[in-house]
Structure 1
Amino acid sequence: MRFFRFLFKGLRGRLTLTYTLVTVLALMALEAILFISATAYSQVTDIDNYLNDVVTMLVPEARSYLRPEQDLPGLQVWLTTLSRKGYASLEPQGLFDSPAAAIVKNSPIFVFSADGGILAQNDSALGTQFIPYSELVMENAYSGNQNIRNLYEMDGNGNYWVAVPIYQKDHTQPVLGVITLTVQPLPVKSLTYWSSLLGLGMLAGAVLLAALAPFGAVFGYILSRGLTRRLSNLSTTAQAWGKGDFTVMPLPDRGNDEISALSYQMREMASKISNLMQDKQSLAQMKERNRIAQELHDTVKQQSFATLMQVRAARNLLVTDATAAEKSLFEAETLIKASQQELGLMISELRPPALEGKGLVVALRSYVETWSTSACVPITFKVIGDGHLSFDVEHTLYRVAQEGLSNAARHSRASAVIVNLVFEENQVILIIEDNGTGFDFAEKQASGFGLISMQDRLKEIGGKLEIRTGIHSGTQLTASIPLPGKIQSNGGNNHA
């Protein structure tokens, strides 16, 4: 049983089974057609066989009384015996033999000579005038016609009136005479006949099935190999694409059918997806460069310009007013430290700690500590729950944390920041909250402020960003990402 389960497992096994079933069903349909055709044909040929048996039995017996010499008394005795016996042919010897032809009771039987004289007649014919039921049939009999269909005619009662030519042994002309008689129609075949015939058909079908079904399975298994190999090629390619590897392409398929068309379409699709991914990557890089350029312009460049102005002022006041010059140098030093801090934050964003091997929690803890030191702002980091995240989710949340804390350092003037990472059953949430000045959300969203970048990152993986803020009321960023599976939470474990 296990062998058969293994044999018919998978597409190739199912194709083999289908091929075998088609072979079996085709054979059964062919048997049914042949059986019906044979039955219909037998209804026509059985009448011919039925009446041919009459000719086969009567001609040799009647001829024996006419050649080499006529024995009319013997012919009369034979005819009388035939009439009393009531059958014009022999009993069937096998299943497919025609039944004995029964002579219609009290019907006349005549034996005519070659010149039309009456040689013998049964008791029912005595005292009656012979009138042929069909002149054409009599002419066919005297002409020696051997086609049984030309030697009988159906009377008004459904019986067959037959004219039997008494052929010479070598079937040369003229005939020795003609026998006329009326026989009953072919009787309906009995239930036993049909049961026997059906049994023989089923036996023959079973033998053929036993012989052909294994061949059907073998040929089906062999012929399905090419088809399953072609589909396996496409399946392997699809699995690689599911993992993001679009460098794997389906092998060229020259089948010139639906599978080859699918292979071609997959190659075209992979090429288009690769181009789109490259375009997306290039666009992301361009956006990142523009963001960095804008931040350098808005912060470091402006601070550098202000530093230059303070240094020039100190140089001009160095001789005339040393105190003012010292104040300008102090301001320049402050601006340089601010520029150094900005550059440190930007470098940290461009070179994040590797997430692989560390995980999001360790990477975030390291980053918030570095940020707190650089920004000189105390920060509280908590992790609630626990769970395993994909790299895409970890990388997105890490970048959102970088952008959120960068905005807090540059714009919020906060004196404290709280970062919470919460693992829930069907989602993971990152919350960044500060006690800074806040901002007008509509105005800042329109001017950039990194919010669009964070929203785009989250949107790519099905997440969303919620912002709660107001002037002089601090800011809270909540980034949530749905998860495909459930996270096994360890309760309320907090990591400060």
Structure 2
Amino acid sequence: MKTLNIRIWFVQSFLLMGVLGGLIFFSGLQVYILFSPEPIISLQSSIYLSLFLFLLLIILSLYFGFRGGYLFKGRLDSLLTFVTTLRSGKFSARITKSENDEIGLITDELNHLAQFIQDQVKSLQRLADEKSELANQAHHAAVIEERQRLARELHDSVSQQLFALGMLSSAAIRIIEEDSNQAKGMLEQVAQIASKAQGEMRALLLHLRPIDLKGDSLREGLIKLVRELKEKSNLEIEMRIEEIEHLSKGTEAHVFRIVQEALSNILRHAHAEKVKIVLERSKDMLHLYISDDGKGFGVHASKMTSFGLQSMRERCEELGGVFQIRSKENEGTYINIRIPVEEVLKIG
């Protein structure tokens, strides 16, 4: 559908009014000259006067059309910028009211809506804090469930891989003197399965790491997590983690768990060599960026990491944040998370 620029619409409207005004004046003057017994102006003079007034009306229409359209479009652009800012997750933003007219009323309502959303985000973060406390209280009950889950994971993945290692190694020993090439192929499969089993175990151990920070800040906890992972794997991890103050315990715990879940997924499924982690604060937004150079996957089609991705998305949304993921086969995976934090931003 074709759209019309608001300034062009203003100019067209004023121009139309100017043309109609000029025609009405010219027609009225001609009627006066024809029917008046003693007209005070000649026909030729009336034509010149009409043309002059017509041109004057055209010029004034263009001026006021452009001026009115510019002012009106400028105010609409401010509203559009504000709505875009809210859509990006900056719910603490506010727009300055310039006039007490209909657009001014819309401005007030948008500011009230932003305040309402910001209050809802605070409520979500408060609920996250309460949920964190309840999680601590339920820790002992969760230990039993986690042990059962670990047993299932070991049975479904690592134990089967160990069984395959035993079968292949036994077969290789039997035929190594008869067919060395076939035995070599089997040993290569043994090496691959062993590497995969090792990655599974590292991911399980990383996932079972305690989620509380034990008095550390979020930055300190993430640095320790990354250092521990570097010691136990061949991943090359680049990180830029800022010290971010005044975060609630619930927010820190959720962000820490998101990073932990992401690294666990990378170990299990990505077959990556390089990982990048960035945590920083930009005004009223907390930014978390995690990327890897692994094999990637179809975000909508893959079921392999759906549980881990869903868990990260839910933790992000509990904090009122925005969760974005991009991945493509053989091109890696990129996770971008934005979580609002307390700070008021004014938009003029």
What's the TM-score, normalizing by structure 2? 0.51
Secondary structure (helix, strand or coil) at the match of 1:320 reads coil
Contact persistence 1:341–1:374 (CA under 8 A): no
Tell me which residue corresponds to 2:29.
none
Alignment match of 1:320 (pick from 178, 195, 204)? 178
Whole-angstrom distance in 1 between the partners of 2:286 and 2:128: 24
* Cα distance, 1:405–1:284 mapped onto 2, change above 3 Å: same
The one-letter amino acid of 1:426's match is D
Q: In the TM superposition, what is the alpha-carbon distance from 1:327 to its structure 2 partner?
A: 5.7
Cα distance, 1:302 vs. partner?
Answer: 3.7
Is 2:250 the partner of 1:392? yes
Deviations 1:156-176 (A, max 9, x none): xxxxxxxxxxxxxxxxxxxxx
Structure showing the higher helix proportion among its residues? 2
Of structures 1 and 2, the larger Rg is shown by 1
Equivalent of residue 201 in structure 2, options 343, 350, 371 = 343
**Aligned AA (1:401):** V
2:321 counterpart residue number: 463
- The 8 Å contact of residues 199 and 268 in structure 2, kept in 1 or not, is answered as no
* CA shift for structure 1 position 294: 6.2
How far has the Cα of 1:348 moved from its partner? 2.4
- Equivalent residue, structure 1, for 2:269: 411
What 5-or-longer segments of structure 2 have no aligned partner?
1-126
Q: Corresponding residue for 1:472?
A: 330
Q: Deviations over 1:184-238 (max 9, x none)?
A: xxxxxxxxxxxxxxxxxxxxxxxxxxxxxxxxxxxxxxxxxxxxxxxxxxxxxxx
Compared CA separation, residues 416 and 293, structure 1 to 2 (3 A): same
- Provide, for residues 396-415 of structure 1, a one-character-per-residue CA deviation record: whole Å limited to 9, x for no partner: 11111111112222222222
Q: How far apart, in 2, do the equivalents of 1:439 and 1:364 lie?
A: 26
2:242 pairs with 1:381: no
User: How far is 1:383 from its partner?
Assistant: 2.0
Q: Tell me which residue corresponds to 1:444.
A: 302
Residue 157 (structure 2) aligns with: 299
Corresponding letter in the other structure for 1:396: H
> What's the CA shift string for 1:83-128, capped at 9, x where partnerless?
xxxxxxxxxxxxxxxxxxxxxxxxxxxxxxxxxxxxxxxxxxxxxx
Give runs of aligned pairs for residues 12-411 of structure 1, distance below 5 A.
292=150, 295-296=153-154, 299-318=157-176, 320-321=178-179, 324-325=182-183, 328-329=186-187, 331-352=189-210, 354-384=212-242, 386-411=244-269
Q: Which residue of 2 aligns with 1:57?
A: none
- Report the 3-state secondary structure (helix = DSSP H, G, I; strand = E; otherwise coil) of the residue aligned with 1:367: helix
Q: 2: distance between equivalents of 1:440 and 1:291?
A: 27
Mapped contact 2:251–2:319 kept (Cα < 8 A): yes
Give a deviation string over 1:260-318, Cα, whole Å, max 9, x none. Answer: xxxxxxxxxxxxxx9xx97x9979986x6786566445531342232122122124225
TM-score, structure 1 as length reference? 0.37
1:385–1:358 CA distance, 2 compared to 1 (3 A): closer
Percent identity, aligned pairs only?
A: 31
Separation in 2, partners of 1:392, 1:369: 23
- C-alpha separation in 2, matches of 1:480 and 1:447: 21
What code does the residue aligned with 2:209 have? R
Task: Give distance in 2, aligned partners of 1:427 and 1:402.
Answer: 21
Amino acid at match of 1:431: Y
C-alpha distance after superposition, 1:25-52 (max 9, x if no partner): xxxxxxxxxxxxxxxxxxxxxxxxxxxx
Partner of 1:262: none
Aligned to 1:427: 285
1:414 match: secondary structure:
coil
Distance 1:355 1:437 in 2: 31
* CA distance, structure 2, for counterparts of residue 378 and residue 475 of structure 1: 15
Distance 1:336 1:414, change over 3 A: closer
Paired residue type of 1:398: F
Structure scoring higher RCO (CA < 8 A, sep ≥ 6) equals: 2
> In structure 2, what is the Cα distance between the partners aligned to 1:413 and 1:447?
13
| 1:61 match | none
> 1:427/1:291 Cα in 2 relative to 1: closer, same or farther (>3 Å)?
farther
How many pairs align?
Answer: 215
For the residues of structure 1 that align with 2:179 and 2:203, how far apart are their CA atoms? Answer: 37
Question: Structure 1 stretches of 5 or more lacking a match?
Answer: 1-240, 248-273, 488-496
Equivalent pair of 2:128/2:318 in contact (CA under 8 Å): no
Return closer, same or farther for 1:478/1:291 CA change in 2, 3 Å cut-off: farther
**What is the distance in 2 between the residues matched to 1:292 and 1:428?**
33
- Structure 2 residue identity aligned to 1:473: E
The structural deviation recorded for 1:435 is 1.9
Structure 1 CA distance, aligned partners of 2:153 and 2:211? 22
Counterpart of 2:64 in structure 1 is none
Determine if contact 2:241/2:278 at 8 Å carries over to the other structure: yes
Matched residue SS, 2:245 = coil
Aligned residues of 2:129 and 2:250 also touching (Cα < 8 A):
no
Deviation at 1:371, TM superposition (A): 2.1
CA distance in 1, matches of 2:274, 2:165: 28
* Cα offset, 1:475, TM superposition: 0.9
What's the offset of the Cα at 1:446? 8.2
Structure 2 CA distance for partners of 1:307 and 1:437, relative to 1, 3 Å: same
